[in-house]
Structure 1
Amino acid sequence: MRRILFPLLVVILFIVYQAVIVVQEGQRGIMLRFNKVHRDADNKVVVYEPGLHFKLPIIDQLKTLDARIQTLDGQEDRFVTVEKKDLLVDSYVKWKISDFGQFYTSTGGDYQKASDLLRRKVNDRLRSEIGSRTIKDIVSGSRGELMAGAQKALNAGEDGAERLGIEVVDVRVKQINLPNEVSSSIYQRMQAERAAVAREHRSQGEEKAEFIRADVDKKVVLILANANKTAEEMKGQGDAEAAKIYADAFSQAPDFYSFIRSLKAYEESFAEGKNNMMLLKPDSEFFRFMKAPTK
């Protein structure tokens, strides 16, 4: 009896061991029965959540799938902008399985095949997004819109990632470069544009400087004219005041005034260094103060 029980117990334990399956955390299971995906009464693929499950030994086979977020790091590829300019774009995609049954049906659980199919869809979507934008928009302004648009388009439509049972979590552009044959021409054009802008600024600066100089010269001329006018007015007023003083003095002491004016005339006429020649009679009125005084 013991000889029979021991082999029977071993067989039972082996069957139990083969019937028990464990799905780890972060995974999901798909059951294959006779190498066909096991489905429920509604013809939906049965997905096993993490935990302990049972299967039919030998007949059933569990295929585990990773439920965590995956990274598809694409290679640098060439794209064409709306200006017909080539760009080298390096991007990556974050994705996860959203429909495990659909994913296994579409890819057979082969992650390399899923990556290849998804890479094609991503490149097609990026090609469409980049092809509708300029280099300036892609590099500076709307890169975020480009990535968001690509992600939204990949998750929508009949030909999107949903067809593979995949949800695209994020699309990111790591680097954007110009091809070597394009870089030199772009840089030369940028230099020419910057030089033209510099020339325009210098021209505007010179024009403004000429305007400022002309305005300053005008103000200087006006100030000098006003100063000369004021000086002439003051000089005229001084001369008038002096003439008035002389007139008052002459009216009060005409003989003394005549004497002073004659002395001034003698000083200017006989000053040192002047070669003045006068033809006058000795009894001329000019010499009357040089004669002996009379009563």
Structure 2
Amino acid sequence: MSRWLPVLLVALTLAVASLFCVVILDEREQGFRTLLNEPEPSVFGISLNQANLVEPGWYLRVPFLHEFYRYERRNLHFHSTPHSLNTVDRTLVDVDYYVIWRIANPQRFFESNRSEAAALQRIDELSYSEVREAVNKHTLRDLLSERRDEVQREIVAGAAASLEPLGVVVVDVRIGGAIYPTANLDRVYERMRTERRRYAMRFRAEGEQQARGIRSQAEGESQVILAGAERESLRLRGEGDAEAARIYADTYGSDPEFYAFVRSLEAYRKSLDRETTLVLSRGSSFLKYLFDPRPPTSPKP
């Protein structure tokens, strides 16, 4: 037993030392390692240390020689507080946004930020700058319509360029909401009502103008139709009068006495009604057929 004791002590010592000399990174992690506080010291051009540890695995860490920093490999999220910003049409809105980002270069991230808390502050500042610039160039309608995606793409491009020197990749930036500040709601509602009234007046004026045009066109068409009907009426009346005159003439030529009888009846119809009073002598020719109703005899053929 005494022979194996030194071996066991050595094994135990190595096991305990491995706990301090080996670092394990899983699929969710990446790391940054320095040697004597230098990320990549070299001797005769030969690098003595691998600073960026971006793959999962086992890595050596010698106590008092190496410093080791763990970082997330997964996407991280940052959600801002609402900021009051002016749109291009000078509309004040409260805008909040969230950033999806990832550490792409642990060494650059460490040298720029030292910690994730400091990185979040830088991400907030730079993202806010891009969001503010984009909102200042667009209207509120753009932020609430299908053009919102275009605005967000502009923000992502700007934020990616700003955060790349920090060792950060911007996956996405999204505007969470764009609403009017509570203090401005009354003024906004009044402006909306005024705008709706202006639209209503314009539409009403356009409708009245169209109605006048339709009425004018209808009146013109009705005049044309009435004039055509009047011409047709005069033509038919003239044809009827001509036909009546022809019939009268034929009748007069064949039977003058019967013609005189018919003309007298027509005169009675036109002259005598309930409101007409005639004072005539009994011998008046006008009353001939009233007192002698026998119809005239037509001459034998």
Smaller-chain TM-score bracket? 0.7 to 0.9
Say whether the 8 Å CA contact 1:40–1:46 is kept in structure 2. no
Q: SS state of the match for residue 90, structure 2?
A: coil
Q: What is aligned with 2:20?
A: 18
**Is 1:120 equivalent to 2:122 in the alignment?**
no
CA distance in structure 2 between the partners assigned to 1:203 and 1:263 by the alignment? 63
Distance 1:71 1:232, change over 3 A: same
**Is 1:199 equivalent to 2:201 in the alignment?**
yes
CA distance in structure 1 between the partners assigned to 2:145 and 2:28 by the alignment? 38
Per the normalisation by structure 1, the TM-score is 0.82
Q: What is aligned with 1:147?
A: 152
Distance 1:102 1:231, change over 3 A: same
Matches within 5 A, 1:31-70: 31-33=33-35, 36-41=37-42, 46-48=51-53, 49-57=55-63, 59-70=65-76
Q: Which of 185, 188, 205 is 1:186 aligned to?
A: 188
Q: What is aligned with 1:236?
A: 238
**Is 1:91 equivalent to 2:93 in the alignment?**
no
Q: How many residues align?
A: 286
1:199 shift after superposition: 1.3
Per the normalisation by structure 2, the TM-score is 0.81
Distance 1:244 1:74, change over 3 A: same
Question: Which moves more between the two structures, 80-89 or 9-18?
Answer: 9-18
Question: Which moves more between the two structures, 111-120 or 233-242?
Answer: 233-242
Say whether the 8 Å CA contact 1:81–1:130 is kept in structure 2. yes
1:9 shift after superposition: 3.6
Say whether the 8 Å CA contact 1:269–1:276 is kept in structure 2. no
Cα deviations across residues 158-217 of structure 1 (Å, max 9, x unaligned)? xx2123211111111111111123332222222212211111211221222222223223
Distance 1:236 1:102, change over 3 A: same
Q: SS state of the match for residue 155, structure 1?
A: helix
Unaligned runs of 5+ in 2: 297-301
CA distance in structure 1 between the partners assigned to 2:24 and 2:265 by the alignment? 140
Say whether the 8 Å CA contact 1:15–1:57 is kept in structure 2. no
Say whether the 8 Å CA contact 2:33–2:51 is kept in structure 1. yes
CA distance in structure 2 between the partners assigned to 1:269 and 1:82 by the alignment? 88
1:102 shift after superposition: 1.0
Say whether the 8 Å CA contact 2:35–2:41 is kept in structure 1. no
Matches within 5 A, 1:263-278: 275-278=277-280
Cα deviations across residues 246-293 of structure 1 (Å, max 9, x unaligned)? 11111112234335545666788888885321146x4x6567776899
Q: What is aligned with 2:299?
A: none
Partner amino acid for 1:71? H
Cα deviations across residues 118-160 of structure 1 (Å, max 9, x unaligned)? 111111121222222333333336422322222222222xxx2
